[in-house]
Structure 1
Amino acid sequence: IGGGVAVVLLILFAMMARSRGDNASAAETTKTETITVGTENVAVATTGSIMTGPTISGTLEPEREAVLRAQVQGSVLQTYADQGQGVGPGTVLARIDATGIQDAYNSARAQVVAARNAADIASRDQARNEKLLAAGAIAERDIEQSRRASIAAQAALEDANSRLATAQKQFRSTTAASPFAGIVSERPVSAGDVVQPGSALFTVVDPSSMRLEASVPADQLSLIRVGVPVTFTVSGYPGRDFVGHIVRVNPTADPTTRQVRIYVSIPNAGRALVGGLFATGRISTSARTGLVVPASAVDVRGTAPFVMRIKGGKAERVPVQLGLNDRTSETYEILSGLQAGDTLLLGAAQGISPGTPVKVTMPATPAATSSSVPR
């Protein structure tokens, strides 16, 4: 019996030793297991620019635009510019038939000449009668008559001059001239067309500066002020940024949308921009250069934000101090905790436990993939 008990005890000791060895081996295997992640699950901290501010959008329009309209009725004799043609200040663009207006202008000039002569004669008569009165050669009533005649002649001269100015203005209105240097964008009339007062003749724009009108929510009004820069991307120019600045802010909000209208001026010295293009802008209320990481790399659910960094081939949890948050580009500024070049985990890979070995694999190239397929 004693020998049987001893055998049983030996068997139990052997089984327990084997179990401990298996558990240690399993623990060692678990401890050294390496987790592989793809490049889509990692990001690198980089030094770059980051900004905050509301986004705006709208259609670009020339900052200066003039619609030249007919001031008088008549037939268009000739046009001197076409759409897309550059013009200078004072350049004549069209002439309207001025036959009747020319006659009225000539008549007004003749009336001025006649009225001036009559005023001169009345003035000389008054001066002569003043001398005769002083010598006692005429009565007081005679000089009064001369004075009234001189006053009436001067009034007639002023009336004639006024009529001449009106006729001259109408005569000049038969010529349409550009008010500033620019480009003709529209020309709705041609030679031979009969126009009425108010009919559009030409539209001239100054393309050296563009304007964007946009709206921002009233709760962001504290971020808006005159002079704040705005960075734009414009349809038709992918990958190119344009910079303007706020020049005016509407003092009242729209009662329906509760948004405030702002006006942005964009220099266009190279004339790359044209009116009618759609632009999306970003008001740069705060901007600086620093360490930038994707927002998806930062866990802000707890009391203190942190990231999961790969260092020395293992995952580690690193507390970080955050700066600006660019909601448009979905990035954070890191003030402390990381350095440029640090590799961070994203998405589901952030659930890897600290201390776990991590390996980043590059995606296989098509050539490598095809060569690995057995024939």
Structure 2
Amino acid sequence: MSTRGQGTGRGPDRRGAGACGLLVVLGLVALSGCKPSGAQESAPQQPASVVLGPEDVVRVESRELQEGPVLSGTLQARRAATMRAEVQGAVLEMAVEQGQRVKKGQLLARIQDVSQRDQLLAANTAVRVARNALQVARSEEQRNRELVKAGVITRRDHERTQLARAQAEAQLAEAQSRRVLAREQVGRTRIVAPFAGVVSERLASAGDVIQPGTPLYTVIDPTSLRLEASVPAAQLSVLKPGTGVDFTVSGYGDRSFQGRIERINPAVDPATGQVRLYVTLPNTEQGLLTGLFAEGRVAALKREVPAVPVSAVDTRAEPPTVLRVQQGKLARVPVTLGMTDEVTRLVELRSGAKAGDILVRGSAQDLTEGTPVEVRPPEKPQEPEPGVGGAGTPPEAPEPR
């Protein structure tokens, strides 16, 4: 019994171990069948978005555009005079300096006038002699007239006295004209300002020996400037005297100045086919200087239209196209262009894009249509962090006990 009992106790142990091994194998098979397909095959990756900065995009906005001929040139004083010597001599005085304001008639320079005053003295003497001679001739004529009436002398003798009186009058007139000329020569030794303005150039110094025609000063009127420019003759239809011109001047940033067409040359240059314009630029505040480069545009047409910079439009295709940011991707859209502002470099969008659309410009236009993009907003200036231990530092919380 005991022996059977021991023999029957070993058999069930082997069968139980085998059953447990089978369960482990079946469990591993079941686990392998439950693995997802993604563990065996990698999922396709989405293309990364291209980040566009504020310099790569532009928003379509309603702007004021102007269209008309573009003018450029150097500003010049509308009134300018170069004061030159009219007599020969040494310069005694140069009374004003370059950049100094002068009034009309103010003395600018003096030239030695010794010889001119000698000539004036001689002319005055000649006038006195001629006047005395005329007085004698008139008295002689009066006496002879009485003698002719009395029959003492002949009429021929009286005619001789009349001729002598006429010659004396002519000599007096000649002497007086010489005195006027001598007085003018003395006056020419004093150089005065022809109008109120500013001395822009000083071209001589005291002690210089000069000849007639030698330049001494240049005086300009800075209250009114002038710009001379040429435009194609084909644009004359939009030009007329009085038309406004908007200017920007080098050295003054984006500040705008207003001028007007004063006159138009009636002749076309046959070599260039262009017409000369003369534009006046008020300078009452005298903020502008002569010699500065100015660029302007005749305000022939002005409109408020949706517009973008020219760099946002691809004109290589027909019709022109733009890259618009639409639902996070780029879409190429054909557009119809209108007027172009040559000064601000803005172009009108008549169709294809509306106000508020975001367009790609510049080098970002090389991106292909359908590219996912992300527009980065402009960075705000960072506020300075409060100093350590300063008044802006929040108090530290007490440590827990």
Q: Which SS does the other structure have where 2:75 is aligned? A: strand
CA distance in 2, matches of 1:360, 1:77: 74
CA distance in 1, matches of 2:91, 2:311: 66
- Of structures 1 and 2, the larger Rg is shown by 2
Residue in 1 aligned with 2:282? 267
CA distance in 2, matches of 1:205, 1:47: 43
Residue in 1 aligned with 2:344? 329
Contact 2:77 2:226 in 1 (8 A): yes
Residue in 2 aligned with 1:162? 177
Q: Which moved more, 1:328-337 or 1:87-96?
A: 328-337
1:176 counterpart letter in structure 2:
I
Structure 1 residue 271: Cα displacement: 1.5
Q: Aligned pair 1:194/2:209, yes or no?
A: yes
How many residues of Structure 1 are paired with residues of Structure 2 in the alignment? 338
- Cα-to-partner distance string for 1:266-302 (whole Å, 9 max, x where unaligned): 1111212222222222232222334333345567889
Contact 1:51 1:284 in 2 (8 A): yes
Structure 1 residue 105: Cα displacement: 0.2
Contact 2:228 2:278 in 1 (8 A): yes
Structure 1 spans left out of the alignment, 5+ residues? 1-25, 368-375
1:56 counterpart letter in structure 2:
L
Structure 1 residue 256: Cα displacement: 3.5
Structure 1 residues 349 and 103, CA gap change in structure 2 (3 angstroms)? closer
Q: Which SS does the other structure have where 2:203 is aligned? A: coil
Residue in 2 aligned with 1:151? 166
Residue in 1 aligned with 2:69? 54
Structure 1 residue 69: Cα displacement: 1.0
Q: Aligned pair 1:239/2:254, yes or no?
A: yes
Q: Which moved more, 1:100-109 or 1:266-275?
A: 266-275
Residue in 2 aligned with 1:38? 52
CA distance in 1, matches of 2:329, 2:282: 51
Residue in 2 aligned with 1:3? none
Contact 1:38 1:363 in 2 (8 A): no
Q: Which SS does the other structure have where 2:234 is aligned? A: helix
Q: Which SS does the other structure have where 1:242 is aligned? A: strand
1:73 counterpart letter in structure 2:
Q
Contact 1:37 1:349 in 2 (8 A): no
Structure 1 residues 191 and 294, CA gap change in structure 2 (3 angstroms)? closer
CA distance in 1, matches of 2:191, 2:360: 68
CA distance in 2, matches of 1:357, 1:70: 77
Structure 1 residue 56: Cα displacement: 2.6
Identity between Structure 1 and Structure 2 (%): 45
Contact 2:336 2:351 in 1 (8 A): yes
Provide the alpha-carbon RMSD of the alignment.
Answer: 3.6
Residue in 1 aligned with 2:307? 292
Structure 2 spans left out of the alignment, 5+ residues? 1-43, 383-401
Residue in 2 aligned with 1:21? none
Structure 1 residues 105 and 365, CA gap change in structure 2 (3 angstroms)? closer
1:121 counterpart letter in structure 2:
V
CA distance in 2, matches of 1:255, 1:154: 58
Contact 2:247 2:295 in 1 (8 A): yes
Structure 1 residue 204: Cα displacement: 1.0
Structure 1 residue 209: Cα displacement: 1.4
Q: Aligned pair 1:141/2:156, yes or no?
A: yes
CA distance in 1, matches of 2:214, 2:379: 69
**Structure 2 counterparts to residues 56-75 of structure 1, below 5 A:** 56-75=71-90
Residue in 2 aligned with 1:250? 265
Aligned equivalent of 1:106, options 97, 112, 121: 121
